[in-house]
Amino acid sequence: MNNIFKGLAFILALGLGYFAKDIYQAIPISLTSEKQKSNIEYCQLSTSICTINNASIVLEQDVISPMQPTSIEVIWPENNDDQLWIELEGKEMSMGVAKFVLSKQGNGTFSGSLLLPVCHSDSMTWIGSIQSSNGTLPISVRMQR
């Protein structure tokens, strides 16, 4: 029985040694990306207008309900793109990346809707950005059941 444990420990040590470089490289990257995310000042979206980088953003509701579409409007006068892209990722829980498109309405105004998935927790913060060829606007959205 003792030899079995020694054999398993030896195999485990060989496996860890084989993947040690990958493990070592993965840890600093995840710590660095978390620090970078925490240093970003996100525009918390709500019914109050949030202004960032000469753009104004407003939501239909202060808190989004899962699986309920919520309108979003972006006024970005310096932007001449035909559409904007939104990418949101769960902060407290990994739920993948939700992607949305905002269509140009004219005079630098873009609109669309957000439809976030259901998660296990009662509330969650989604962080991400509104992107165009001119730049990126960091945003966060609060979701609650």
Mean pLDDT, range 64-75, rounded to an integer: 94
**What whole-number distance in Å separates Cα of residue 117 and Cα of residue 84?**
21
Q: Give the chain's domain count.
A: 2
DSSP 79-131: ---SEEEEEEEESSS---EEEEEEEEEETTEEEEEE-PPP-SSSEEEEEEEEE
- The answer to whether residues 50 and 12 belong to one domain is no
- The answer to whether residues 88 and 133 belong to one domain is yes
Consecutive H or E run containing 75: strand 70-75
Q: Considering the entire predicted model, what is its pTM?
A: 0.70
- The answer to whether residues 118 and 66 belong to one domain is yes
Q: Which domain holds residue 61?
A: 43-144
112-135 residue pLDDT tens? 999 998 877 788 999 999 999 989
Mean pLDDT, range 35-58, rounded to an integer: 84
**What whole-number distance in Å separates Cα of residue 142 and Cα of residue 119?**
13
- The answer to whether residues 8 and 35 belong to one domain is yes
